[in-house]
Structure 1
């Protein structure tokens, strides 16, 4: 903490500041999700997610798909999740990040995201052990719809405070807050805007583009392809 005098006046505790910094990716994702939902008054589509809208939170973010009523599989995950597990997490179940005794609670929360369109916030604690320092985590889960309209996708953020230490790091659940995801009325503009003139960046939620190879001009009647999307989902809805 910092202060201007020895009498306690002007002393600023960094604890609250650090907490707000830690939760910033969760607030950013929630605001972005609300902005998308406010355009239609419905749960956003998975295909509407643009990584540029949550750029500063990408390393903590992930997209997951429903594979059972209480299970979700990570389709794309930011680098922080890979760091926590010490391996690539894309294709793993979300439950792999949790201790065995926390998976039932997680499953109940995941089922409500998909069944009710609920928003879930969790306070997490890393498992203790040799080479595993104190680690505090915060997770946000928000529902998404597939292009078929079914609620089988979710987007989330996982942030932590503390040294990761020996991996993999799995979490227990200290608290769970489940509430309806509020869809804001449309205002004609997104809550979080994106400058379309900005050059797209290949970041954690984007798969690398294939090398560019010049092609001959299209012949008459040939349809041109649209722009490459930043987020590529290899499954078919």
Structure 2
């Protein structure tokens, strides 16, 4: 895989996208069962297949060696958002849901800041929708490929730019938004509003129920007659 040189990410993304298009054969979305690892031999180390498990959420079913190297561990069964920093996970969730719901293609540009023994990294992440054996679009073929030395794992990224494309030429793509996940304003609060999250947690867990009898007694002040 190292013979691709500096243009490796774009070439891997193009190769995987061309392979996915070849599987369609006039259909909007190919089946998961159509995917043959031999057809993506050169991209196999960077490729993955994910499964939608909730609105805006998916986990890895299969993943190549490069993803394992980035995370420093086996990633099968892990959520896709594991590769992004918390501040970018809401955006990823919005984009990911459009891949399954529209369905459509998503191409993400990622970057990881430099730190001790962790050089700056740029990466591309591609999502291509697939149908499950039941005929619903709950799978996706994709790839994650970074440029440069990985350094010490795990490496997590910020989402710098996301591009969504309709499957058919001339069609208008679905733009990512929290409503696409079906949560509306609650999704926005989960993404970036710390006060909303804390208020929701407080409402869900009354303070009185968490106190012990000793803690409740400590809140009372004894007042004498002369006070």
Q: Same fold (TM over 0.5)?
A: yes
- Residue in structure 1 matched with residue 39 of structure 2 by the alignment: 53
Q: 1:26 aligns to what? A: 13
What RMSD over aligned residues (CA atoms) do the two structures have, in Å? 1.4
Q: Secondary structure at the match of 1:90?
A: coil
- Kindly indicate whether residue 22 of structure 2 is the aligned counterpart of residue 35 of structure 1: yes
Choose the corresponding residue for 1:72, options 49, 58, 61: 58
Paired residue secondary structure (1:133): coil
User: What SS is found at the alignment partner of 2:160?
Assistant: strand
Distance in 2 between the 1:127 and 1:104 partners? Answer: 19
Does the aligned pair in 2 maintain the 1:123–1:137 contact within 8 Å? yes
Give the superposition deviation at 1:128.
Answer: 3.0
* Alignment TM-score, normalising by the size of structure 1: 0.67
Contact 1:23/1:159 (CA < 8 Å) preserved in 2?
no
Separation in 2, partners of 1:182, 1:44? 14
**Structure 1: where are the runs of 5+ without partners?**
1-16, 184-237
Tell me the equivalent position of 2:152: 166
**TM-score computed with the length of structure 2 as normaliser:** 0.70
**Matched residue SS, 1:111:** helix
* Structure with the higher fraction of residues in helix conformation: 2
Contact 1:124 1:175 in 2 (8 A): yes
Q: Is the 8 A contact 1:60 1:78 kept in 2?
A: yes
Report the Cα distance in structure 2 between the residues aligned to 1:100 and 1:127, rounded to whole angstroms: 14
**What SS is found at the alignment partner of 1:178?**
strand
- Alignment pair present for 1:126 and 2:112: yes
Does the 8 A contact of 1:34 with 1:182 survive in 2?
Answer: no
Q: 2:86 aligns with which of 95, 100, 107?
A: 100
Larger radius of gyration: 2
Q: Where do 5+ consecutive residues of structure 2 fail to align? A: 170-227
Q: Map residues 220-235 of structure 1 onto 2, 5 A cutoff.
A: none
- Asked if the contact 1:127/1:169 (under 8 Å) is kept, the reply is no
The answer to whether residue 71 in structure 2 is matched with residue 85 in structure 1 is yes
Secondary structure of 1:55 counterpart: helix
1:179 aligns with 2:165: yes
Higher RCO (CA < 8 A, seq sep 6+): 1
Match of residue 109, structure 1, among 95, 104, 111: 95
